[in-house]
Amino acid sequence: MAYKINPDLCVACGTCQGECPTGAIHEGDFYTIDPEVCVDCGTCAGVCPMEAIAPAE
């Protein structure tokens, strides 16, 4: 299961993007995670200072 970023909580700080080992996180007004590239490692969720990243349902 891929992770997702809650756009209401994301402040686009870029912390998660720098930690993603597969490059699944993309910049924008808020960051997004490509579910086709995400390997469900959870690294991004562990470093997000806003707790904006969680497993997709």
Pick the CATH number of 3-55 from 3.30.470.10, 2.40.30.10, 3.40.50.2300, 3.30.70.20: 3.30.70.20
Band the pLDDT of 1: cuts 50, 70, 90: confident
Radius of gyration of the chain (CA): 10
- Helices (H), ranges, the chain: 15-19, 43-47
Task: Decide if 45 contacts 3 (C-beta within 8 A).
Answer: yes
pLDDT of residue 18: 94
Count of beta carbons in the 10 Å neighbourhood of residue 4:
17
Give this prediction's pTM.
Answer: 0.89
Q: How far apart are CA 45 and CA 52, in angstroms?
A: 7
Q: Where are the domains of the chain?
A: 3-55
Would you say residue 39 has pLDDT above 90?
yes
Count of beta carbons in the 10 Å neighbourhood of residue 41:
14
pLDDT of residue 45: 97
